[in-house]
Amino acid sequence: MTAPVTTPAAARDAARGTGAPPAPHRRRRIQHPGAIVAFVAPFGLLFLLFYLVPIGYAIYQSLLVVEREGTYGAATEVFGGLTQYALVFQNEAFWTSVGRMLVFGVVQVPIMLGLALLFALLLDSPLLRGKKFFRLAFFVPYAVPGVIAAIMWGFLFSPNLSPFQELTKQVDFLSADLVLWSIANVVTWVFVGYNMLIIYSSLLAIPAEIYEAAVLDGAGQGRIAWSIKIPLVRPALILTAIFSIIGTLQLLAEPQVFRSFSSAVTSTYTPNMTIYATSSIPNVNLAAAFSVVLALATFVLSFTFLRITRKKAEA
Please write the tens of the pLDDT for every residue from 281-301: 889 999 999 999 999 999 999
Instruction: Return d(Cα 258, Cα 146) in angstroms, integer.
Output: 12
4 has pLDDT over 60: no
Please write the tens of the pLDDT for every residue from 28-51: 666 677 788 889 999 999 999 999
Which pLDDT belongs to residue 5?
Answer: 47
* Phi, then psi, of 27 in degrees rounded to 5: -70, 135
The answer, as to whether pTM is greater than 0.95, is no
* Sign (positive or negative) of CA dihedral 84, 85, 86, 91: positive
CATH top class, domain 84-314:
mainly alpha
Q: pLDDT-based confidence at 75, cuts 50/70/90?
A: confident
Which pLDDT belongs to residue 22?
Answer: 55
State which amino acid sits at residue 35: A
Which pLDDT belongs to residue 84?
Answer: 94
Strand partners, 68: 75
Instruction: Return d(Cα 253, Cα 191) in angstroms, integer.
Output: 14
Closest CA to 141 of 116, 165, 158, 122: 116
Q: At what angle do helices 271-279 and 92-124 cross, to 10 degrees?
A: 130
- CA separation, residue 110 to residues 105, 107, 123, 200, 237 (Å): 8, 6, 20, 17, 10
Please write the tens of the pLDDT for every residue from 154-185: 999 998 888 898 898 899 999 999 999 999 99
Q: Are 278 and 294 in contact (CB under 8 A)?
A: no
Does the N-terminal peptide bond of residue 126 adopt cis geometry, omega within 30 degrees of 0? no
Q: Are 234 and 206 in contact (CB under 8 A)?
A: no
DSSP code string of 240-261: HHHHHHHHHHT--HHHHHHTTT
Q: Are 95 and 290 in contact (CB under 8 A)?
A: no
Mean of the per-residue pLDDT values of the chain: 88
2 has pLDDT over 70: no
Please write the tens of the pLDDT for every residue from 210-235: 998 999 988 888 899 999 999 999 99
- The terminus-to-terminus CA distance of the chain in angstroms comes to 71
